[in-house]
Structure 1
């Protein structure tokens, strides 16, 4: 079993294509590519964590449309960490879990990492090398060494694993305020 992470899919959202310079003809094309990319990586025994903004726009208000997309999602379990664009029809889908904030054990030390739609400056176990995964900012910020953007706009429109995240995190700078909020921990 592998945990896969992604955020800001914005299924059905025509305007996100222009807002984030996504390389799609229209929302239908974007939805198909996102589903194909998920299915290419997430296995039948895996967990899929969507860190907010599953769907948005006129299509997202149509329950049958997003139910059809949801049913195409791969994985044994599907989890939603609620984002600012997740409303009634999205919340009514049969997710295995729905939360504003989640902690997931992952990585070689099986450590709890914090998942939130929004980037955070500190979180539970942050001083003990626990990471935070987020979305919300699309392609505006990759994150910092310990708080990493898992959104589709910065990961080639595909989900990522803990190993992918850690590899990118090692190349990112520390948050400038880290010493203010977690003095004496990481350098």
Structure 2
């Protein structure tokens, strides 16, 4: 069983194509490609983490459309980390869990902290815990210890913790890290 991470899918959202220069003809084309990419990676026994902004726009308020979309998601478990565009209808889907922030033990080392929004610090940050986020689309890849898992910076495919760790090594140290973590041991 593997854990897969993604964010900012924005299923059903026509305007995100223009806003983020996504290479799709329409929202339905984008939705089909995103679903195909999920199915090509996430196995039937795997766990899928949507780190916010699952769907947006008028379709995201249509419970029947959302239910059909959700039923096509692969994986044994599907978790939602609530993003700013995840309304009541999205949160009401039969997710394994719905939360604003969580920790996921996925491999050796400290658990990863998942939140839709990039944070400046988090639990066990000084002990090697990565923060996985979305929200900023293609505006920021992240830093050495906080990685954007959004579709716009990963070629529209979900990623594993191994992929995330590899990318983290290539990213710069957050320039504000010492501002917030210098005396963290005293708190």
Q: Which residue of 2 aligns with 1:141?
A: 140
Q: Secondary structure at the match of 1:166?
A: helix
Moved more, 145-154 or 61-70: 61-70
Rounded Cα–Cα distance in structure 2 between residues aligned with 1:131 and 1:184: 19
Superimposed CA distance per residue, residues 115-146 of structure 1 (whole angstroms, 9 cap, x where no aligned partner):
00000010000000100000000000000000
Runs of 4+ in 1 over 2 A off after TM superposition: none
Unpaired runs of at least 5, structure 1: none
Counterpart CA distance in 2 for 1:123 and 1:163 is: 20
Aligned to 1:67: 67
Look up the match of 1:154.
Answer: 153
2:41 — aligned with what? Answer: 41
Quote the offset at 1:108 in angstroms: 2.7
What's the counterpart of residue 50 of structure 1?
A: 50
Comparing 157-166 with 99-108, which one deviates more in the overlay?
Answer: 99-108
Structure 2, unaligned runs of 5 or more: none
Superposition pairs of residues 92-131 of structure 1, within 5 angstroms? 92-109=92-109, 111-131=110-130
* Counterparts of residues 82-93 of structure 1 (less than 5 Å): 82-93=82-93
Rounded to whole Å, the distance in 1 between the matches of 2:106 and 2:180 is 24
Aligned residues: 184
Post-superposition Cα deviations, 1:2-45, rounded to whole Å, max 9, x if no partner, equal 11000000000000000000000000000000000000000111
* Deviation (angstroms), 1:106: 1.1
Q: What is aligned with 2:180? A: 181
Give the drift of 1:107. Answer: 2.4
> What's the TM-score once normalised by structure 1's chain length?
0.96
Q: With structure 2 as the length reference, what TM-score do the two structures score?
A: 0.96
